[in-house]
Structure 1
Amino acid sequence: MMKLRRQAREMSLQVLYAMEMSGEPVDQVITDVLLLNENPECDETLLRDLVRHTSANRESIDERIRNRSRNWDFNRIALIDKIILRQAIAELIFSEDIPPRVTISEAIELAKKYSTDDSHVFINGLMDRIYHDLIEEGRIFPEVTET
């Protein structure tokens, strides 16, 4: 299950990046990415949900990133980092069955794999602040930690 979700997140990242570069419609890019990856084993429902929620809510998600990326000009944030952040924020808000710490951890892993050496630190800090904002807004609930 975890491997299928990780693969879905990686493919969603590919789809969102390809959409950014090509301007092609969502369904076409998803189909193309699935074909290019030779129909890999992944949680295709999560893939489609992440892509749709991320692209449909891009403006409000970008506003969250702008508000929380102190000392960073939004336009200077690497495109891959923006996409990782957008996808993770969409997952936090819309994937209620995935624990927030898993979402944040997966975003950090994506940054380590696909971005610069320091990106994971930036993404971790930003996601932590956004996670707490979403709790304050009542959009998500804090995780209960066992003692």
Structure 2
Amino acid sequence: MHHSPGLEGKILKWCVQKDDSLCTLREAFEKVEPKLGFNIELKLDDNLVYSSDHLSRLLLPILQVVCDYGKDRPIIVSSFHPDAALLARKLQSIYPVFFLTNGGTEMYYDVRRNSLEEAIKVCVEGGLQGIVSEVKGVFRNPDAVNRIKESRLSL
């Protein structure tokens, strides 16, 4: 917090729209320097089961903006949610899609999220470009690094 002399105890008007508004994804593309890359992480609720229709309705508008405004900007699309990552790949092929994983350092109901081995399988079967893993998961299973390389995936 920054201290301004003479303002102690004064109440200042704070307007969310003006002082702390969030930009839309489109505005981010328009206002951020075009040579800066984006990781568009598709975040979903771990405790919900999404139908493929629901997932499509959530992802399509996001991916539409990315494809319309991303132009030549370096972009990757990523998600911890295997079905969202796979669908992002099906819905667009311009930008690489990475599957995010804790590499087995945490356990989830969806087994595809519980190991690097499963992450490799998701990527290979779904045509994804790579894996982003919690580093402890990689240290715990260093052999997986070779399998990831052999599968022509980025890590």
Instruction: Indicate the TM-score class for this superposition, using the shorter chain for normalisation.
Output: 0.3 to 0.5
Higher strand share: 2
Higher helix share: 1
Specify which structure has the bigger relative contact order, considering alpha-carbon pairs within 8 angstroms and separated by 6 or more residues: 1
Q: TM-score, structure 2 length as denominator?
A: 0.31
